[in-house]
Homo-oligomer: A and B are copies of this chain.
Amino acid sequence: MHDPSTPACRIEMGLADTIQLAHGEGGRLMRQLIENRIAPLLSLDRSGLQSDAAVLGQLDGETVVTTDSFVVSPLFFPGGDIGSLAVHGTINDLAMAGATPTHLTLALILEEGFALQTLDRILNSIADAANHCGVSVVAGDTKVVPRGAADGIFINTTGIGVLQGDSRMRPDRIEASDQLIVSGPIGKHGLAVLSAREKFGFKPAPESDSAPLHQPAQDLRNQLDLDLHAMRDATRGGVAAVLHEWAEASGQTMWIDAAKVPVTANTHAIAELLGIDPLFVANEGTFLVAVHPDRCEAALDCLRSHSVSAQCCVIGHAQPRDVSAVLIRRGIGVDQPLDEPSGAMLPRIC
């Protein structure tokens, strides 16, 4: 063994501990990376490794698919990391479409020089999140680009699930008088990532809401059936983006009461300081529901029975189309239009 303090050894360790271009080129180093690091963590079996495709068997129902790339910066933040986020984000897209998530694929783009220890930490986080959600990672891909051609690691997850029931939730089914429910306090994810990236040092540090939503979503669907008109996780663009999508799809106006929108004291304080409206901030474990008014209480009861959505509440309703697609009642009872987010505020939050 070399003395670890000698420069020669440090250089050798450096090479052995980081991603090399050769890790992405189909040869021995790539095989070792997959067999020794990725496969054991993700419980991939050898047969899956020896083929570039995975046989899932006959799926019991209509197949639903979704894809998402994750480029979040920084890679680790209070409440999650790029690995857990890549699992939750894709599972939530399936859940919102009314599907039970069953399988994930995982594609990594790695920058030359990326620390293998950091990769292990992210893979562990992916494995934990996938296990917790009961989905299998069934196929993967690894590409390596030279230093400077990517920023550390980008992850794509594609999710496959099975549709529950026959009805398809579509925001064009939203009717005037439908109640709008949000599943919990908003704005946490975007502020957590932004604060971690900019090292603002807030105490307590804002924490992401990153979490899987398939269980409350399934329960809602089972219990409310056709009275559940739309469900959507409020990711990029936040609650405001969902309300605008729904207004456009349904031809109704979405009306919300600012005083009823749940925001934690910490989020409120930080958002005020930064001059950001939490309605425009991304969430990764919070969703909106549009439900027939007669079933609103049932929907709330159902959501309250899951810890991830225990703090749900009604924030407004749909109403016949006004001049404005989305209205918000602020302060002294005046309804104002709520802008559609145009973007550019918080890059790389997922």
Cβ B55 vs Cβ A163 within 8 A:
yes
A342-B103 Cα distance, complex, nearest whole Å? 31
Contacts of A107 in B (CB 8 A): 67-69, 156, 158
A: residues with CB less than 8 A from B are 20-31, 47, 50-59, 61-71, 73, 93-94, 96-97, 99, 103, 105-109, 138-141, 143-146, 148-151, 154, 156, 158-161, 163, 168, 170-172, 233, 235-238, 241, 245, 249, 282, 340-348, 350
Residues of the B chain whose Cβ atoms lie less than 8 Å from the Cβ of A25: 236-237, 341, 343-347
| Interface contact A151-B156, CB-CB below 8 Å | no
Within the assembled complex, what's the spacing in Å between the Cα atoms of A212 and B249? 38
Tell me whether A64 and B71 are in contact (CB under 8 A). Answer: no
**Complex Cα–Cα for A249 and B346 (A):** 48
Given contacts A27-B340, A53-B64, 15 further A-B contacts (CB under 8 A): A23-B343, A50-B245, A52-B93, A52-B96, A53-B66, A53-B96, A55-B64, A55-B168, A58-B63, A65-B139, A67-B106, A71-B143, A105-B158, A109-B109, A145-B348
> From residue A115, how far is it (CB to closest CB) to chain B in Å?
18
Q: Is the CB of A21 within 8 A of B62?
A: no
Q: Judge whether B344 and A21 touch: CB under 8 Å.
A: yes
Question: If the complex has contacts A143-B71, A158-B105, A168-B55, are A138 and B340 also in contact, measured as CB distance less than 8 A?
Answer: no
In contact, B53 and A93 (Cβ under 8 angstroms) = yes
Complex contact B59–A63 (CB within 8 A) = yes
Query: Which B residues touch A171, using CB under 8 A?
Result: 50
Nearest chain B CB to A62's CB is how many angstroms away?
5
A53 touches B168 (CB 8 A): no
The 9 A-B pairs with the shortest beta carbon distances in the complex, nearest first, are A26-B236, A26-B237, A22-B343, A25-B343, A27-B341, A53-B97, A53-B66, A67-B105, A22-B344
Residues of B within 8 A of A67 (CB): 105-107, 139-141, 156, 158
Which of B59, B149, B238 is A59 in contact with, Cβ under 8 Å? B59
- Tell me whether A145 and B52 are in contact (CB under 8 A): no
Q: Are B61 and A343 in contact (CB under 8 A)?
A: no
Min Cβ gap A11→B in Å is 17
- Contact B64–A235 (Cβ < 8 Å): no
Q: Which of B70, B96, B105, B145 makes the CB contact (< 8 A) with A65?
A: B105
Min CB distance A289 to B, Å, is 15
Whose C-beta in chain B lies nearest to the C-beta of A160? B65
Residues in chain B near residue A68, CB distance under 8 A: 52, 107, 141
Residues from chain B with a CB closer than 8 A to the CB of A139 are: 65-67
Interchain CB contact under 8 A, A53 and B94: yes
